[in-house]
Amino acid sequence: MIEKEKMLAGELYIASDEELKKQLQIAKDLCYEYNQMKPSNLRKRKEIMKKILGKTKEKFLIEQPFICDYGWNIEIGENFYANHNLVILDCNKVIFGDNVLIGPNCSFYTVGHPIDPMQRKQGYEYAKPIQIGNDVWIGGNVVILPGVKIGNRCVIGAGSVVTKEIPDDCIAVGNPCKIVKRIKD
């Protein structure tokens, strides 16, 4: 397998692979262009964001600045809103459902490094997908770690570090993030 295939399969891969570096640079240049635009130029901002992201619906807004690794691994649903300073390290899939609200200074990290220091020295990384359900509100300064799935209709409290799955209909907060309440109809 080539390094990109290993990356998407969640296996150890060499991040400094030439093809990955080329694709990374394309996304970084597009993010730079997006972040330098006038905030009032919503039409052009949307055009650039559609070039960056792998899949979008029609109604979305991502405030500047925005940073990602590749972009093509990110899918956003309808009625998506992300406040300032969204960071998505998308070495694997990051999929957001419909009606998702993300507070400022939030980070989604699919990538991690091996525990073994020799593997780290050799440049190995791994990446696990992140999935966010429909009707989710993520408060400011939240960090979502590799492999996390957040269910539908959840609220993640500000400042949380989400290290494991949060099922549907939960309010969860803290570091590490824990369920504090089930949402009832």
Is pLDDT of 120 > 70? yes
In this prediction, residues 7-23 reach a mean pLDDT of 96
Can you read off the two tokens belonging to residue 8? 């998407």
> What pLDDT is recorded for position 1?
79
> What pLDDT is recorded for position 184?
82
How far apart are the C-alpha atoms of 20 and 25, rounded to whole Å?
9
Give the DSSP H/E element, type plus range, for residue 89. Answer: strand 86-89
pLDDT band at 185 (very low <50, low <70, confident <90, very high): low
Which whole-number Å values give the CA distances from 42 to 31, 33, 59, 100, in the listed order? 15, 13, 12, 19
Q: Which residues are catalytic?
A: 113
Q: How does the average pLDDT of the chain come out, rounded?
A: 97
Residue matched to tokens 């979305």: 60
SS3 percent helix, strand, coil of the chain, rounded to 5, is: 20, 30, 50
Q: Determine phi and psi for 166, rounding to 5 degrees.
A: -115, 120
How far apart are the C-alpha atoms of 48 and 39, rounded to whole Å?
13
Report which of 146, 164, 153, 143 is spatially closest to residue 73, judged by C-alpha positions.
146
Tens-place pLDDT, residues 146-179:
999 999 999 999 999 999 999 999 999 999 999 9
Tens-place pLDDT, residues 44-76:
999 999 999 999 999 999 999 999 999 999 999
pLDDT band at 145 (very low <50, low <70, confident <90, very high): very high
Whether 64 and 80 have beta carbons less than 8 Å apart is answered as no
